[in-house]
Structures are given as C-alpha cells and as structure tokens.
C-alpha cells in the first residue's frame, strides 16, 4: 500500500506540475499578446501621445519646423488624429509670419479656437510687427494666461519691452522664458539686454554659455569692440564663422532660428538663411581686421561676402552700419577707422 500511495502521490505531483506549466504558458502567451506586440493599440497610443507632447513642446519654444515635422510624422501613422491636424495647422501658419496671408490664416484659426495659446501668441507677433504695442501686449498676456508654459510668449513680450526701451521689464520676461527652457535664443536675448545695459561681464558670461551658436559669438565680439579689445573681437568672430561653415553645427534646430537686429527704434531686420548670416559674419570680421590695420585680411573677408551674392545685402549692410554707429557712440577712438571702412566697403554695396 505504501508503494501504491507513493506512486499515486508522484502522479498527482506530475499532473499538478503539468497543469501549472500549461497555465503559465497560457497566461504568458496572453501577456505577450496583450503587451509584448509592438503593433498593439496600447503601444501605438503611447507613441502617439508622445509625439503630440513633443509637437506641443516644439511649439512652446518656437521650433515651428520641428513641430511641423513631428505632427506630420504622427499623421502618417494616425491620419485622423485631430490634435496632430490642429498642431500642424498652427505650425504651418506660423512659418509664413512675413507673408501677407499670415493674418488671414491666423484669424481663421482664432475663429475656430480663440482660447488657443499659440494662436493668441501669433496674433501678438503680428501686431508687434506692425508697432501696435497695446494689442500685441494684450495677446501675449492672453497666451500666457492660457498656457503659462508657453516660453515663446514670454520671449516675444521681452522683445516688445526691449523695443520700447524698457530693459528691466524685458529682462524679467526673458528670465521667465529661460526658466521654462534654457534655449540659446533665450540666453542670447538675455545677454543682449545686459549688453544694452552696459553690464558687459554678465553679457559675456551669458553669450559664452551658447556653444555652437554663431549669433552669440558675433554679439560677444561687439562688446570687445566697445571695450577696444580688437584681438578678442576677432577671435569671437572667427569662432562664429567656423560654426557657420560647419554643416553639422548649422543643422542643429537652434541654428534654424532667424537672427533679428534693431537697426532703428522702429525697424527690426531679420536674417533668415545661412548665406545671409555668413555675409554678416564676414563683414564683422573684416571690420575688426580693418581697424587692426590688416587691410588685406579685411579685403579677403569682403570678397567672401561678395561671392555669396546675397539678394538682401543692403539690409545686411544697414545692420552693420547700425553696429558701427553704436561702436562710435561707445568708443570714439575708432571713429576715423569706422568712417574709412564705411566709405570703402559699405557705400557702394
């Protein structure tokens, strides 16, 4: 009996083990089917939500080309995703800020959703471009109220205060933008405010934080112009040109941003494409060389600029003229060289 009992117990154990094994396999197969298949709706939903968040984040910091790409990627996967459709419409509309149809497109978006923060931001930009300061401020503030994480609205409000000469208010707003996203564009803006306040050490410190960002190097060089340190200015300008001529550096998202310069209190000039930016950089470097007495080097940089054959060269010349006028106001010892440079290189271009 003891033998039979042992045999029965062993059979029961074996049967129990088999039953458990089958249950585990069955359960495991269900788990794999439910969660392990990358094509299941659950995984797709997560990826879709991630793309929508990425697109929103790109819009919030003014990366409109990135936002457009992200939303287009989502719509290839889920053509009916209405969040992506709306996000793409906003990104596409903002890309044509300088186009006459911009206001019509934004008005259409506003009629569909007047509570969209980005649409209110775009309206603020339109009115700021037309020097309707009160309307611009109202739309910026409404955008911030609707989305306190909209860094670009703080940035644009800072620009508006800067244009009005209220540098302290401009600094407050740009610091809010930096607290949300420490992008090179925002840090460059803060540094430029310090520059205008003649807080040169703080300005240089902020410009230096922007590695691989040519505009900050060129702006930092202007400080050294004002201080009379031409070798340092030349070094910064050479670094900027090195970055401008590096394809990998210039393909970074932050280097797709336009560069803005206030040539007069009423006029703001935008440099959009790479050749326009290079043209400005070559001219800046030629100024430093000319003021150092290196006329051959200055001539070589001007030749590089001419070889680009930029359509909007007059606008670029006017930016440089404004820079040189500011230099003479800050350091009159360069007045003779500056006037000679203008007569030689800027009058006939």
Cβ contact 291:340 at 8 Å? no
Please indicate, yes or no, if residue 189 is contained in any of the structural domains: no
Burial class (CB in 10 A: 0-12, 13-18, 19+), 347: exposed
List of long-range contacts for 14-18, beta carbons under 8 Å, 24+ apart: none
Least confident of 236-240, 256-260, 286-290, 307-311: 256-260
* pLDDT tens profile 11-34: 545 445 444 444 444 444 444 344
Q: In this structure, are 226 and 307 located in the same domain?
A: yes
Is 279 contained in some domain?
yes
Distance in angstroms (rounded) separating the CA atoms of residues 349 and 345 = 7
Q: What residues pair up with 260 in beta bridges, in sequence order?
A: 270
pLDDT at 203: 98
CA separation, residue 276 to residues 136, 224, 270 (Å): 28, 23, 9
Evaluate whether residue 168 is within a structural domain. yes
Higher pLDDT, 255 or 25: 255
In a shared domain, residues 294 and 344: yes
CATH number of the domain within which 128 lies: 1.25.40.10
> Are residues 108 and 228 located together in one domain of the fold?
no
- The domain boundary, picked from 56, 72, 88, lies at 72
pLDDT over 50 (residue 115): yes
DSSP annotation of 343? I
Tell me the average pLDDT across 216-234: 97
The answer to whether residue 271 scores a pLDDT higher than 60 is yes
Cα–Cα distance, 305 to 307 (Å, whole number): 5
The span from the CA of 120 to the CA of 145, in Å, is 10
Q: Which residue has the tokens 């112009």?
A: 225
- Are 173 and 266 members of one domain? no
H or E element: which one contains 89?
helix 82-94
Which residue in 82, 45, 81, 51 sits closest to 67, CA to CA? 51
Same domain, residue pair 177 and 213: no
Looking at the structure, tell me whether residues 347 and 216 fall in a common domain.
yes
Same-domain status, 264 and 339: yes
Kindly give, in sequence order, each residue whose CB lies less than 8 Å from that of residue 116, ignoring residues fewer than 6 positions away. 90, 109, 110, 146
Please state the pTM of the whole predicted model.
0.83
pLDDT, average across residues 245-269: 89
Same domain, 222 and 347: yes
Backbone dihedral region of 132: left (phi > 0), alpha (psi from -120 to 50 degrees) or beta?
Answer: beta
Q: Rounded to an integer, what distance in angstroms lies between the CA atom of residue 215 and that of residue 195?
A: 14
Q: Does some domain include residue 341?
A: yes
How much is the mean pLDDT over the chain? 88
Q: Is the pLDDT of residue 224 over 60?
A: yes
Say what the pLDDT of residue 329 is: 94
pLDDT tens-digit map of 196-210: 999 999 999 999 999
3-state secondary structure at position 260 = strand
Q: Which of 116, 29, 44 is nearest to 77 (CA)?
A: 44
Tell me the two tokens of residue 255: 């280097």
Question: Which pLDDT score, from 0 to 100, does residue 45 have?
Answer: 66
Give the pLDDT score at 51: 85
173 vs 331: CA distance, rounded Å: 30
Going by pLDDT thresholds of 50, 70 and 90, the confidence category of residue 241 is very high
Q: What is the pLDDT of residues 132-187, one digit of tens each?
A: 999 999 999 999 999 999 999 999 999 999 999 999 999 999 999 999 999 999 99
Residue 39 structure tokens: 């094509």
- Report how far apart the first and last C-alpha atoms of the chain are (Å, whole number): 114
Do 349 and 218 lie in a common domain?
yes
Residues 231 and 280 in one domain: yes
pLDDT digits (tens, 9 = 90+) for 29-83: 444 344 444 445 555 567 668 888 899 999 999 999 999 999 999 999 999 999 9
Nearest to 56 by CA among 74, 80, 40: 74
- Residues 6 or more apart whose CB falls under 8 angstroms from that of 282 comprise 241, 301, 302, 304, 305, 308
pLDDT for the residue numbered 158: 97
- Say which DSSP state 155 is in: H
Percent of the chain with pLDDT over 70: 85
Domain membership flag for residue 19:
no
pLDDT attached to residue 27: 46
Quick one: 304 and 222 in the same domain? yes
Number of domains in the chain: 3
Higher-pLDDT residue of 290, 51: 290
Closest CA to 255 of 304, 218, 301: 218
d(CA 74, CA 51): 6
Domain span holding position 47: 40-72
Last residue of one domain, picked from the residues 21, 50, 72: 72
């Amino acid at each position: 009996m003891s033998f039979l009992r042992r045999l029965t117990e062993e059979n029961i154990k074996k049967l129990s083990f088999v039953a458990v094994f089958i249950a585990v396999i069955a359960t495991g197969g269900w788990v794999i089917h439910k969660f392990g298949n990358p094509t299941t709706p659950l995984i797709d939903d997560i990826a879709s939500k991630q793309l929508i968040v990425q697109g929103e984040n790109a819009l919030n910091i003014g990366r409109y080309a990135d936002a457009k790409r992200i939303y287009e990627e989502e719509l290839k996967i889920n053509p009916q995703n209405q969040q992506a459709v709306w996000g793409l419409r906003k990104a596409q509309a903002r890309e044509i800020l300088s186009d006459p149809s911009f206001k019509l497109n934004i008005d259409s978006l506003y009629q569909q959703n007047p509570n969209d923060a980005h649409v209110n931001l775009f309206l603020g930009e339109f009115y700021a471009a037309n020097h309707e300061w009160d309307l611009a401020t109202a739309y910026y503030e409404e955008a911030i109220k609707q989305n306190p994480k909209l860094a670009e609205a703080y940035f644009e409000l800072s620009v508006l205060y800067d244009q009005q000469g209220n540098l302290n208010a401009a600094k407050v707003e740009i610091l809010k933008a930096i607290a949300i996203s420490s992008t090179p564009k925002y840090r460059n803006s803060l540094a430029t405010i310090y520059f205008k306040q003649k807080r040169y050490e703080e300005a240089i410190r902020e410009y230096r934080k922007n590695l691989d960002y040519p505009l900050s190097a060129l702006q930092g060089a202007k400080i050294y112009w004002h201080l009379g340190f031409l070798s340092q200015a030349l070094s910064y300008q050479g670094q900027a040109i090195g970055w401008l001529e590096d394809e990998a550096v210039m393909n970074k998202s932050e280097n797709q941003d336009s560069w803005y310069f206030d040539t007069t209190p009423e006029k703001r000039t935008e440099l959009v494409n790479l050749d326009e930016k290079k043209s400005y950089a070559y001219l800046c470097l030629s100024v430093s060389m000319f003021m150092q007495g290196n006329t051959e080097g200055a001539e070589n940089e001007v030749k590089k600029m001419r070889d680009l054959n930029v359509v909007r060269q007059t606008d670029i010349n006017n930016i440089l003229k404004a820079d040189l006028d500011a230099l003479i106001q800050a350091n009159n010892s360069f007045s003779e060289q500056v006037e000679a440079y203008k007569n030689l290189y800027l009058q006939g271009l």
